[in-house]
Amino acid sequence: MAVVTLNRPGALNAMNTEMIEELLNLFREQSYNDALRCMVITGAGSRAFSTGGDLKERNGMSSDQWHRQHHLIEDAFRALWDFPIPVIAAVEGYAFAGGCEIALGTDFIVASDTAEFALKEVTRGIMPGGGGIQHLARCIGVRRARELIYTGRAIDAATAYEWGLVNRVVAAGRAFETAITLAEQIAASAPLAVRTVKVALGRGEDCDFKTGYALDIAGYNNLVGSEDRLEGIAAFNEKRAPIWKNR
């Protein structure tokens, strides 16, 4: 299991160029870590998960400098979306703008009751550029997404849960430990099977049902011949915990 902490609490974990580069390198490197079973992303401190791009750093940037930085952001977000194992966001406090987009780009979100979510970019003369428009519309529906993005309004954790943006709401200070518990449960499952399901879900959500089901069956048939499938059945019949080989 890996824990990634957005660690700029004095700036509400706003993402400067250094942090973006570090995230991009981390996602790329760890995507080849066959021993990794789950990743949890959280923010340092209790005030914020992340408030998005560091606007103090961006103040005075030329258009060319802004574009260059955003190319890094696009690469980092794509690496997150394509990450081969499950990623859980543990959110305390503000998840605004790019911070909200990081959370939306994970497999699912655990939020404390202090969490707030917003895509505030239009109030700064720009628009969400980290997948937030598409992810939010798919999570909560196009009409609700339009309202939130057009206004930049924040919603609290209870509303986010009601609308399907987060999976769980827990007491303040408990988002991370709850996410770790879920990550441990995921890590106990067969790693090849989890990775294959992630591909089928990620690629299948934008397909028609029959095309998505074809992805399911292709993955299923591949798993039938795996050593882990044999181990899983043997462990069940022998009433013991499976020992996964990831092959």
Q: What is the pLDDT of residues 67-97, one digit of tens each?
A: 999 999 999 999 999 999 999 999 999 999 9
pLDDT over 90 (residue 104) = yes
Sign, Cα dihedral of 123, 126, 128, 130 = negative
What's the gap between Cα 125 and its chain centre?
A: 26
Give the pTM.
0.95
Provide the pLDDT confidence category of residue 60 given band limits of 50, 70 and 90: confident
Do 92 and 11 lie in a common domain? yes
- Kindly state whether residues 168 and 104 are assigned to the same domain: yes
- Are 43 and 162 found together in one domain? yes
146-178 residue pLDDT tens: 999 999 999 999 999 999 999 999 999 999 999
Which helix or strand (DSSP H or E) is residue 169 part of?
strand 168-170
Q: Which of 157, 64, 176 is nearest to 116 (CA)?
A: 157
Across the chain, what does the average pLDDT equal? 96
Q: Are residues 38 and 157 in the same domain?
A: yes
125 and 113 together in one domain:
yes
- Summarize pLDDT for 188-239 with one digit per residue, the tens: 999 999 999 999 999 998 899 999 999 999 999 999 999 999 999 999 999 9
Domains of the chain: total: 2
Coil, helix or strand for 213? helix
Q: Which residue has the tokens 């044999």?
A: 230
215 and 199 within one domain? yes
Statement to judge: residues 11 and 94 lie in one domain: yes
Are residues 169 and 226 both part of a single domain? Answer: no
Assign residue 201 the CATH number of its domain. 1.10.12.10
Domain containing 226: what range?
191-237
Query: What is d(CA 43, CA 25) in angstroms, rounded to the nearest whole number?
Result: 18
